[in-house]
Amino acid sequence: MERTGYCIYVNTVCDGSVPVERDEQGNRVTYLTRADAEKVIAEDAIERLRQFLDGEREFDDALTIEEYVTEVRVLAEGSVVDAA
């Protein structure tokens, strides 16, 4: 049975829009809700800000969020297709 899911993507110069996370088998990591995926991005942003406060990262780099959430279709066998 097919379902809707959400993946975290980032735009790259060479490959365009690519998923940020893959599992051990190379499959895209999907989240059940948009909020679940957004929380992962927020947690990463918080970690980057902590790194800035600890002197490990530049301020502008810590504030830059390039990741975004895209709705996808998760097919019955587990493969993922961009919803668009």
Supply the pLDDT for residue 51: 97
Q: In this predicted model, what pLDDT tens digit does every residue of 51-81 receive, in sequence order?
A: 999 999 999 999 999 999 999 998 888 788 8
Specify the pLDDT at position 83: 64
pLDDT tens-digit map of 5-30? 999 999 999 988 888 999 898 888 99
Instruction: Name the residue type at position 11.
Output: N
Of 61, 68, 63, the residue nearest 20 (C-alpha): 68
> Residue 84: which pLDDT band, with cuts at 50, 70 and 90?
low
pLDDT value, residue 39: 98
